[in-house]
Structure 1
């Protein structure tokens, strides 16, 4: 099982900064709501937009293109950073990317065991469970059990690989293309891809 999250190499200086920023944002949010300057519902809509629309939609476009274009597919697996950046999906937490591909014999799942490193430009904001201690600790020790809780159950003939994102590199899963989609356009294929599929806790 790939598990290249070396404590000595992982730079965790960003953790306190992220926690501090989160606390400051929360305090400002509460203050602005209390003063009537911001509508809480509007804030919820903004967060939902980043969680469900911007990032995952970008990743879905990357996946659809890889399914349709063999040259791009090979480039994506060889140099995920360059391939993804060529589509304009760049930014914080997407500087160094590696893409791992699911197959009939291999299923990949990503995690960040010591914090919450996550490829925002292609997946949006990380879900709460991804940042939770239970997922971060258990998916490395018992990936099959965790995946089963997400509704995925694999036979012993399927190898489960867990990839540990770090401050230096972030992972994204390339799901298997579904059958009977030969006539689908890029946009149609992209609608099949979900955030969880690109984390590895869903098939698509």
Structure 2
């Protein structure tokens, strides 16, 4: 039977006001530097985009690849993600308490922060613009299957969708399904199959080359 659960245990605290203030200061500084000719906005946007999509998520991809290839590590990750992630050297602000949730053929997890943009920076880098946008934050809860279709992800009707609402205290990391045909691949090769969106739950892991 299809359906979805919404796990809502928000406790947004002062961190968000600090984050908002920081973002305002960064934007003000960016404006000043741009006006003085010290910063090229296009180059800055490219740098941010690189960190959002490549540099930051590579940490998470290493975590997922280890979980796929090492059952003992996977068990530690699902039992208590923060110390398991620290085993690979990833820790820091916005990553003090991360919970890993695992996709299965019968269950698909998706992460949202309905009130702002809580996000596990140490493993995913900077949150993408759409993650912070009101349409995603509201629709992910009300119509997760429709949101997934917007991301070109169509799941079987029998697959249950569970939506996890990040908070200032708890952030979530989705462990995507390991793609078919990846048996025998090294951790480095497996990490190349893990996408940022698959660790948020708005995407799936890439199939290996040559696998439909």
CA offset at residue 2 of structure 1?
4.4
CA offset at residue 145 of structure 1?
1.1
Which residue does 2:6 correspond to in 1?
3
Map 1:102-117 onto structure 2 (within 5 A): 102-117=103-118
Q: Secondary structure at the match of 1:29?
A: helix
Taking the aligned partners of 1:5 and 1:114, their CA distance within structure 2 comes to 11
Which residue does 1:76 correspond to in 2?
77
CA offset at residue 130 of structure 1?
0.6
Taking the aligned partners of 1:28 and 1:46, their CA distance within structure 2 comes to 16
Taking the aligned partners of 1:104 and 1:170, their CA distance within structure 2 comes to 23
Taking the aligned partners of 2:157 and 2:182, their CA distance within structure 1 comes to 28
Count residues in correspondence: 202
**4+ residue runs over 6 A deviation:** none
Shift of the 41–135 alpha-carbon distance from structure 1 to 2, 3 Å rule, reads closer
TM-score normalized with structure 2 length: 0.90
Which residue does 1:165 correspond to in 2?
166
Taking the aligned partners of 1:116 and 1:103, their CA distance within structure 2 comes to 26
The alignment's C-alpha RMSD in Å is 1.4
TM-score normalized with structure 1 length: 0.93
Q: Secondary structure at the match of 1:3?
A: strand
Gaps of 5+ in 1: none
Shift of the 67–6 alpha-carbon distance from structure 1 to 2, 3 Å rule, reads closer
Matched, 1:196 2:191: no
| Conserved? CA contact 2:5–2:161, under 8 Å | no
